[in-house]
Chain A
Amino acid sequence: NAGVTQTPKFQVLKTGQSMTLQCAQDMNHEYMSWYRQDPGMGLRLIHYSVGAGITDQGEVPNGYNVSRSTTEDFPLRLLSAAPSQTSVYFCASSYSHSLNTEAFFGQGTRLTVV
C-alpha cells in the first residue's frame, strides 16, 4: 500500500518558471490538500479538495493552482515561481465523511526558487 506519493522529492527552479508538483493517493480518500512548511510557521494550507471536480482555497493560495480530475490525483501548479515560494510542500489525504480520521502525508517536495 503506497499511501500518498509525491514527486519530485527535490526541485530547483529559476524565478518565473512554472512547474507542477504531483500527488497521488491509493486509499480512495475524498479529501486531499496541499500544505507548505516554513520554519517556525507550522504547516499552512494552500488548497484543498473534498472530491473530484471540487477545489477550494486555503490560507495561502496566491501563486498556486490546483485541479482534481480524479479521486487519486491532486497536482499543485506554480504559475510563475518566486523566491518566496521556496519551501517544503506536503500533500495530504483523508476521509471526508468522518472528522475523527487523520490525514496521511506524503514525504514532501523540497522546492528552491533562485
Chain B
Amino acid sequence: AQSVTQLGSHVSVSEGALVLLRCNYSSSVPPYLFWYVQYPNQGLQLLLKYTSAATLVKGINGFEAEFKKSETSFHLTKPSAHMSDAAEYFCAVRVYGQNFVFGPGTRLSVLP
C-alpha cells in the first residue's frame, strides 16, 4: 500500500529564512506527487505537482519541490519565508487506484 510520511509535525522558521518541508513516499509504481497548502479554516489548495515531466517542479508563491526517486522524496522548499506562508502543508501521492493518499501534514510557523 502507498504511504506518505512528513518529517516534523511543526516547523518554525524566521521571516526571510529558507523553508524546507520534508516528504517521503512509498510506492511500488511511479507516483504522481502533490503538495497542498491549507490556511486556517479553509480547504486545501494545490501548491505544485510532480507528473514526471521534470524532477524540479515550481509552484505558486515561490515554492518548489524536487523529486528524487533514489530517496523516494519530494521535499518542498522556498528560499525566503514570508509571514503569509504560515499554514499547514500536506504532501500527497496518487497512484493507479486513483485515490489520493495524504501525509499527516506539517504546520509551518514564520517568526518575525
Contact = CB atoms under 8 A, between A and B. Distances in A.
A8 to B, nearest CB: 14
Nearest to B104: A42
Contacts of A35: 102
A50 B52 CA distance: 24
Contacts of A43: 44, 90, 102
Interface in A53-93: 58, 90, 92
Interface string B5-28: 000010000000000000000000
Interface in A87-114: 90, 92, 94, 96, 99-100, 102-103, 105-108
Interface of A: 4, 31, 33, 35, 40-45, 48, 50, 58, 90, 92, 94, 96, 99-100, 102-103, 105-108
Given A48-B99, A99-B94, 8 more contacts: A42-B4, A42-B90, A43-B102, A90-B43, A92-B44, A99-B98, A100-B49, A100-B51
A4 B34 CA distance: 19
A43 B102 CA distance: 6
Contacts of A48: 98-99
Interface residues of B, number: 27
Nearest to A9: B41
A52 B17 CA distance: 48
A30 B106 CA distance: 30
A48 B98 CA distance: 10
Contacts of A105: 36, 43-45
B46 A102 contact: yes
A79 to B, nearest CB: 23
